[in-house]
Each structure stands twice: as structure tokens, then as C-alpha cells.
Amino acid sequence: MRDVLPVVIDRLARGPVAIARIIGTSGPTPRAVGAAMAVTADGEVIGSLSGGCVESALVHTCTTVLDSGEAVVEHFGIADADGIEIGLTCGGTLEVFVERVTADRRRALDELAGHLAADRRVAWATTLGSSPEWHITTSPTTRWRRLDHDVADLLASGRSGIIGVDDCDDPTISGDARPRTFVHTFAAPPRLILVGANDFVRATSSIGRSLGYRVTVVDARPVFATRARFPDADEVVVDWPHRYLEAEIRSGTVDATTAVCVMTHDPKFDVPTLRVALADSRAGFVGALGSRRTVTDRNARLIESGMAPAELDRLRSPLGLDLGGHTPAEVAVSIAAQLIAERHDASTRALHTTSGPLHH
């Protein structure tokens, strides 16, 4: 959408434009959620959603939407290699939302483009009925319908997705309903930096990826830090972890959405890495795996190295919530649960022991 947006804004001066965006996928697909193409009233096609396999059908849909003015949701599934129906040969499915955009939306699109030019994290929420409503925000506290908390969650995590459940075209549904809405978030996903190259890191990298983190595994031992051992990590770095983290902090790629989890069980890696992570306040979450004995010994080493007690107070160690797990997969779940709970400032209590709304 970033590439399509300036062209759409320019073409609006000539007339309405139909925008088609991928709002949902499953299985292997040519493009990810948020990818967009546009079709102008004079037939110009801007961008691509599938590399060709469903483009002709979408151009036809865009033309229909331009004529009718009513937005539609299209679904494309697996195509039969011997059939004539339109679909995806890669084995996945696409859900695509197509809407007509007219000159009265120009101001909103200019606002969106301005946020993108300034590298601000921004969410563009669009209700998925025949007459879409838009909501563009950079603030997690902006109120909108009854969806603001869901929008804020996706904005904070840098993810795009569908929220809400109600049919916004149903006239019997009140104006304060929660219509099915696509939230298109423009931001780099939050980072999860995992220090170490063991089974616990591998399990945590998998669940971290599923939660929308950009996962980095870093370890100084090339025999262990390999792509084959960590297939779900976005990147596997062979370097001394403290040196890598120092470079990332200097480059500005560590911020309040970044979680650093030190999981090596080796003081020569743990202590210098934690000193770097805790001395800099930019990382939002710093944790370290280990037993009570390991934590006591490591904390003593950190104090001896000159770390101030206030810096050490930022360390979540032992890492994870008390779920009683022992296996790498169970430990990964406990770590992921703590990351989620701290992001939402949640109680971590079992829901059946609480009262009131489930989502605050």
C-alpha cells in the first residue's frame, strides 16, 4: 500500500479510484495482508495482489465497484489446475476488500501519507460494509466506536488484521456496534531479540513469530546459530550478543516495543549482554532465563560489574510466568504469556476467577 498510496492520491484529481486490499490470508499466498492494488475509472491498474493469478477477476470487481459505489469482499481459494475457475495455484486463500475512493477522501489519504513520510506508526481502520467508514490514528487513546482498544492493540504491536464481529450493513444494529473492521497498520513489527542458541530459544522464536514479533536469534557460536536450527526466526546472527545489541541500540532499531530475552545460561554471554540491555532504557522488556540459584549468582555478578540497583530492577528474571512448565515449548508459552501480560498490564489471573469484561 505504501507504493500505491501516492499514485492513488494523484489519480483522484482525475476521478474516483477503486482500491483492493488483502485483508486476510491462509496458507501460502503471493502477497501478505495489507498489500493493495488500485484501478482508475479509465482502466489504469496500479500495483498487484497476486502476481497475475487473480488480477483479472479483481480488475473486473474494481470496475463494478467504481460503477456501483458499493464496497465488496471477495474470496479466492485454491484453483484446480485442470479447471477454469479463478483461484490461487499456490495453495492458499485470499480475502480482498474492494472499495471506491472519491475526492472527498483526499484529506484522509493526505493525512495517512504525511504520517508515513514522518515514519510515524499509524493505523488505518476501515469498516467492511458496503459503505465503509475510515478511522486514521497514531494514538492508542483515540476513541472510535467500540473498537478503539482493538485498534490500539494492533497499533502497539505493529500488526494488521480484522477486528469486530457485527454486520455493519444490518440496519437493526445500533451505531455503537462493533462492525467487522480491517485495521491496516503501518509500522515495523515489535522486535524480539533472543540471546542464545538452544531448544528454549527455538521454541520461543516460533511462538514469538506467531505473535507478530520480528524475531532475531543471536549467539557467538556459529555451529549452533544456524538458519536450519531456527527456521522461524526472521534472522539468525552470529556475533557476541552484547556487541550486536550495542550496535542495534546505536542504529536506533531498539525501542519501547523491543523485548530482549537472554537465554544462554552462560555468564560470559549473559552478564555483558544484560549490562548493555539494562544500561540503556530504550528496550521495553529485558528478561533472563534461569533458576533461582542462577538468578542470584547472575545478579551478584551484575552488581559487581558496576550495575546500579535501579537498572537491575528492570530485569525480569526468572523469565516467564509460573505455569508449572518444564519443556522448551512450555517455557516458551510462559515467556510469551509474560510478554502479552506486560504489554496489556494484565493481572495474569485465571479468567474464571475474575469478573467484568474480558477485554479492557
| Nearest-angstrom CA–CA distance, 123 and 151 | 7
Task: Tell me what the mean pLDDT of segment 105-109 comes to.
Answer: 96
- Which residues, listed in sequence order, are joined to residue 194 by a DSSP beta bridge? 217, 261
CA 247 → CA 57, 243, 255, 286, distances in Å?
Answer: 47, 6, 13, 17
Gap between the Cα atoms of 345 and 332, Å rounded:
20
**Burial, 273: exposed, middle or buried (Cβ in 10 Å; 0-12, 13-18, 19+)?**
buried
Mean pLDDT of 268-282: 92
Q: Judge if pTM exceeds 0.95.
A: no
Predicted local distance difference test score (pLDDT) of residue 80: 47
- The per-residue pLDDT for 156 is 81
Overall average pLDDT of the 146-160 stretch? 87
At residue 81, does pLDDT exceed 50? no
Residue intervals of the chain classified under CATH 3.40.50.720 are 191-344
CA–CA dist 301, 41 (Å, integer):
68
More confident residue, 121 or 332: 332
Burial class (CB in 10 A: 0-12, 13-18, 19+), 22: buried
CA neighbor of 58 nearest in space, from 35, 82, 80, 90: 35
Share of the chain above pLDDT 90, in %: 65
Q: Are 201 and 180 in contact (CB under 8 A)?
A: no
Q: How confident is the model at residue 51 (pLDDT cuts 50, 70, 90)?
A: low
Beta-carbon contacts of 148 under 8 Å, excluding residues fewer than 6 positions away, are: 141, 142
Secondary structure, 3-state, 79-97: CCCCCCCCCECCCCEEEEE
**Lowest-confidence segment of 81-90, 117-126, 137-146, 325-334 by average pLDDT:** 81-90
Identify which has the larger pLDDT, 311 or 140: 311
CB 194 within 8 A of CB 217: yes
Tell me the CATH number of domain 191-344, given options 3.30.830.10, 3.30.450.20, 3.40.50.720, 3.30.420.40.
3.40.50.720
- Looking at residue 85, its pLDDT comes to 44
pLDDT tens digits along 317-357: 999 999 998 999 999 999 999 999 998 888 888 888 888 76
Task: Please give the pLDDT value at position 52.
Answer: 62
Nearest to 227 by CA among 218, 236, 214: 236
pLDDT attached to residue 175:
54
Q: Percent of the chain, pLDDT > 70?
A: 91
Helix/strand/coil percentages in the chain, nearest 5: 35, 20, 45
CA distance 19 to 33: 14
Confidence of residue 221 (pLDDT cuts 50, 70, 90): very high
Per-residue pLDDT, 237: 97
